[in-house]
């Protein structure tokens, strides 16, 4: 029975993506552009700026090696606050109609941050250690975070397109409720990524940091 429910959920997700593939494609492109800009920015920073980035990462890793622990509850609190602000911001700007470019900008910025972080780590540690560090600290939560972010932005984009196409009050009301409910669902999923970041990724990092 549980397996049947999982298959049903997967089918619903597939159907949702197929029905909105154009919106997903556009949002994914903005996210990928952001990643490339982040990588490009790190690779083209001046030596002094790159040195500052490396010093910050080295200092963080050395503190962990010397026994300093990560406050997991503080990480969770900060991550949840970030996701709440992210969700509300995308929800709000999508509902203003003229704010949809800001939604695209937020998606690109998040891609930029990811690309910047990955490129900085690999630049400091080399590919093998850097990739392992990224796998431990970033991959697990981002497996959930990235699809949820993209889906949230797609919901906002759909809301924008729907009310541009049909400006009747009844349609706006229905689309607004749909977008709001979907945003709440994505916030719940993003909260799961916060739990993974705080209690899985950081615990793994503290356990394995001696190898870096």
Q: What is the pTM of this model?
A: 0.90
Q: Report the pLDDT value the prediction gives residue 50, as an integer from 0 to 100.
A: 72
- Indicate the Cα dihedral angle 65, 53, 75, 63, nearest 10°: 20
Quote the number of domains for the chain: 1
Chain segment 166-183, per-residue pLDDT in tens: 778 888 899 999 999 999
Q: For residue 166, give the 3-state DSSP assignment.
A: coil
pLDDT digits (tens, 9 = 90+) for 90-146: 999 998 878 899 999 999 999 999 999 999 888 888 888 888 889 888 999 999 999
Instruction: Please tell me the predicted confidence (pLDDT) of residue 2.
Output: 52
Angle in degrees, 0-180, between the axes of helices 72-95 and 140-165, rounded to the nearest 10: 20
Q: At what angle do helices 127-134 and 100-125 cross, to 10 degrees?
A: 130
Residue 182: name the closest of 149, 143, 144 by CA: 149
The whole domain housing 126 covers 2-211
What is the per-residue pLDDT across 182-199, written as a single tens digit (0 to 9) for each? Answer: 999 999 999 999 999 999
């Amino acid at each position: 029975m549980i397996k049947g429910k999982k298959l049903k959920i997967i089918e619903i997700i597939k159907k949702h993506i197929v029905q909105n593939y154009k919106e997903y494609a556009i949002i994914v492109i903005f996210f990928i552009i952001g990643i490339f800009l982040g990588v490009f920015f790190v690779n083209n920073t001046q030596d002094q700026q790159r040195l500052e980035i490396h010093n910050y990462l080295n200092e963080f890793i050395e503190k962990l090696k010397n026994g300093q622990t990560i406050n997991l509850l503080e990480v969770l609190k900060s991550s949840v606050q970030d996701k709440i602000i992210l969700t509300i911001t995308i929800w709000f700007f999508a509902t203003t109609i003229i704010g949809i470019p800001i939604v695209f900008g937020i998606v690109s910025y998040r891609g930029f941050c990811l690309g910047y972080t990955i490129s900085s780590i690999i630049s400091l540690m080399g590919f093998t250690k850097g990739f392992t560090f990224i796998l431990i600290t970033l991959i697990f939560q981002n497996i959930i975070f990235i699809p949820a972010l993209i889906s949230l932005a797609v919901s906002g984009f759909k809301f924008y397109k729907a009310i541009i196409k049909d400006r009747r009050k009844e349609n706006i009301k229905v689309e607004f409720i749909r977008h709001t409910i979907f945003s709440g669902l994505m916030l719940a999923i993003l909260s799961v990524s916060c739990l993974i970041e705080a209690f899985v990724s950081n615990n793994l990092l503290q356990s394995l940091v001696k190898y870096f």
